[in-house]
Amino acid sequence: MKFSKWGSVTALVLASLLGGCATQQASQQVDQNNNQVQDAGDPRDPLEPVNRVMWDFNWEVLDAYILRPITVGYVTVMPHFARVGLFNAAENLQEPANFMNNMFQGKVDDGMDSLARFVLNSTVGLFGTIDVANHIGITKKEEEFGETMGKWGVGTGPFLMLPALGPNDPRSFSGNVVDGMVYPMAIIDGQFAIARYLVSLLEGRASLIDQEQQLEQSVDDYAFVKNAYFENLAFKVTDGKSGDKAIEEEQLDDFAEFEAMLEYEEMDVEDDSSTDGPEEDGPEEDGPE
């Protein structure tokens, strides 16, 4: 009986020790797994915890309660021809920066096209409200200073999810600052600059209303947007190629769409028949394409 008693005590002590060892090993394994997860994190996104919080704020608060309702009201109330004219005028102000960046990248022909577009649309096109240049075959050759720096070998830097501005990076952000200092952007007053930004923002968001389901169905909406953002940057810097592999057209459409909503970049809007003069058919009702 005595032996049985001490045997039970000994068994309990051994069990406790073994259990403690097992718990310590399990804890160490969890810590090791966590370290591996951290080590395997996206090197482009060292600020991911903060960026994810900002993404939730942008998408679930700013967009859901402010940007999207205003966009729906804008599309509903504003006539199509007025939307097209306002957007064309906003885009026309960017042509001098397109000229500068094309020339910096050695694209002389594209740079001259950008200059010709600005002159034609600012005069014959009634301050840019009518895209006359496009109608005669001089298409937009959009380039940004962030892309120019990418051509020069400057890296993007860490991924940044900025409040209201959405996905960004130091190279693109500083490039936008430089583009904003080019004539005529440097001389327009603050109210006009804000109006231009709002028009581009609303039209970009309007183009994505039908694409929201794709984002909502993604497993990780934040990662989806981040990957699309970097793919789009690579596409623009390499003029349609990411490394040695061309990006498929369907992917490019997705990148352009999400860029418009989340980075608030300008989208391409085609002028309809109402901007060319009176014709039999009236303006379309479904908004810019």
Give the phi and the psi of residue 276 in degrees, each rounded to 5: -90, -15
At 266 the pLDDT is 43
Task: Tell me the residue type at 136.
Answer: I
Residue where the block lists tokens 């391409």: 268
Rounded CA-CA distance 163/171 in Å is 17
Rounded CA-CA distance 274/280 in Å is 10
At 149 the pLDDT is 97
- The one-digit pLDDT tens for each residue of the chain (289 residues) are 443 433 433 333 333 333 444 344 444 444 444 443 333 589 999 999 999 999 999 999 999 999 999 999 999 999 999 999 999 999 999 999 999 999 999 999 999 999 999 999 999 999 999 999 999 999 999 999 999 999 999 999 999 999 988 999 999 999 999 999 998 888 887 788 889 989 999 998 998 888 788 888 889 999 999 999 999 999 999 988 754 444 455 455 555 555 555 544 444 444 444 444 444 444 444 444 4
| Secondary structure of 29-55 in HEC code, one letter for each residue | HHHHHHHHHHHCCCCCCCCHHHHHHHH
Tokens of 235: 């596409």
Residues 6+ apart with CB under 8 A from 260: 204, 205, 207, 208, 266, 267
Tokens of 48: 């991911």
**pTM exceeds 0.95:** no
Task: Tell me the residue type at 218.
Answer: S
Q: How many CB atoms lie within 10 A of CB 32?
A: 10
Query: In a 3-state reduction of DSSP, which class is residue 1?
Result: coil
Q: At what angle do helices 95-104 and 108-123 cross, to 10 degrees?
A: 170
